[in-house]
Amino acid sequence: MKPLDYEEGGTAVQDVRKNDTNRDRRQSLRNNRFTKSFVKRTIQLLSVNRIMFSVPGSKCIALTFDDGPVAENTTKILGILRQFQIKTSFFINGKNAEKHPDLVRAMHEEGHTVGNHGYNHYHLEDYKGNLVSYFDNIRRAEEIIASITGKRSFLYRPPYGNMDLSIFLPICKMGYRIVFWNFDSNDSFIKNPALLASTIISAAPGPGSIILMHEDYNHTLQALPEILAGLRRKKVRFCSL
Ligand SMILES: [Zn+2]
């Protein structure tokens, strides 16, 4: 008996298979599109108010200082801020906070915001394959901040601004808003205090700007009074996050 091959009945079988394959493909495409749009919508929903590059709807400017507290610098920065009657935000590392709890307490008691910048200051790539350690690093800093100030922080700034989807949703689930910046003072590159101050002032950060600065640079500390005075001359108002 002639087996069913693709000379005669085969065409029908091929057609059925082709139809099945096409149907599967269409279904898979629909599922894929649905999954993609579902993921996109979920991320958009979760992202609302979860990521900050600026202070939306605000006319003030938020200065942010990263990587402290640092023994002498922080005390001096706090003194300058007190003198100008300005409130800012500090994104601190837990390991530094452990060394200088008094400085973290002073930030908090003087009305500045204390945000979480991780316990260590490692790149995200250093945690690839071991994201549990990344989240432990955040929690460890969170516990130290809470033990000093009496309340946990809900603001997190990832070291180096390193962020991807593998950590974004879990960090949101931990209750954090992720704070980036839309104005880099470039104090990692401009090490002359006068030049740093004039660069920031002439760039005139707009309303709602979040300015990235570093607490551990001496040139930033030296430039700070002129930065604040210069921005004040431009009628800038400051706020904490
Ligand atoms: Zn940092």
Residue type, 84: F
Percent of the chain past pLDDT 90, that is, above it, reads: 73
What is the pLDDT at residue 128?
Answer: 82
128 or 75: which carries more pLDDT confidence?
A: 75
> Quick check: 217 pLDDT over 90?
yes
Catalytic residue among 24, 66, 187, 216: 66
Compute, in angstroms, the gap from residue 65 CA to the centroid of ligand 1.
9
| Entry pTM | 0.80
Sheet of 183-184, strands arranged across? 51-52, 177-179, 155-156, 113-116, 89-92, 62-66, 210-214, 183-184
% residues pLDDT > 70 (the chain) = 81
Supply the pLDDT for residue 56. 85
Q: Which residues contact 128 (CB under 8 A, 6 or more apart)?
A: none
The Å distance, Cα 213 to ligand 1 centre, comes to: 9
The string of pLDDT tens digits covering residues 18-68 is 666 677 767 766 767 766 676 666 666 556 678 999 998 899 999 999 999
| Greater model confidence, 24 or 97 | 97
How many angstroms is it from 117 CA to the middle of ligand 1?
7
Query: What pLDDT was estimated at residue 107?
Result: 98
Active site residue 24: no
pLDDT tens, position by position, 179-189: 999 999 999 99
Q: How far is the CA of 87 from the CAs of 90, 109, 121, 238, in angstroms?
A: 10, 11, 24, 7
Ligand 1 center from residue 138 Cα (angstroms): 13
Pseudo-torsion of CA 231, 212, 155, 169, nearest 10°? 140
Cα–Cα distance, 223 to 235 (Å, whole number): 19
40 CA → ligand 1 middle, Å: 29
CA of 37 to the centre of ligand 1 (A): 34
Strand partners, 86: none
Reduced DSSP (H G I as helix, E B as strand, rest coil) percent helix, strand, coil of the chain, to 5: 55, 15, 35
Annotated catalytic residue, options 100, 108, 112, 214: 214
Looking at domain 51-233, its CATH superfamily turns out to be Glycoside hydrolase/deacetylase (3.20.20.370)
Q: H or E segment at 121?
A: none
Centre of ligand 1 from the C-alpha of residue 91, in Å:
8
Tell me how far apart the alpha carbons of residues 209 and 97 are, in angstroms, rounded to a whole number. Answer: 27
Q: How far is the centre of ligand 1, averaged over its atoms, from the C-alpha of 127 (Å)?
A: 16
Give the DSSP per-residue string, 47-107: HTTTEESB-TT--SBEEEEES---HHHHHHHHHHHHHHT---EEEE-HHHHHH-HHHHHHH
- pLDDT tens digit sequence for 167-205: 999 999 999 999 999 999 999 999 999 999 999 999 989
Asked whether residue 11 carries a pLDDT value surpassing 50, the answer given is no
Query: Known catalytic residue: 214?
Result: yes
Q: Is the pLDDT of residue 136 over 70?
A: yes
- Mean pLDDT over residues 212-235, rounded? 97
A 10 A CB-CB count for 79 gives 10
Q: Which of the four pLDDT bands, split at 50, 70 and 90, describes residue 156? A: very high
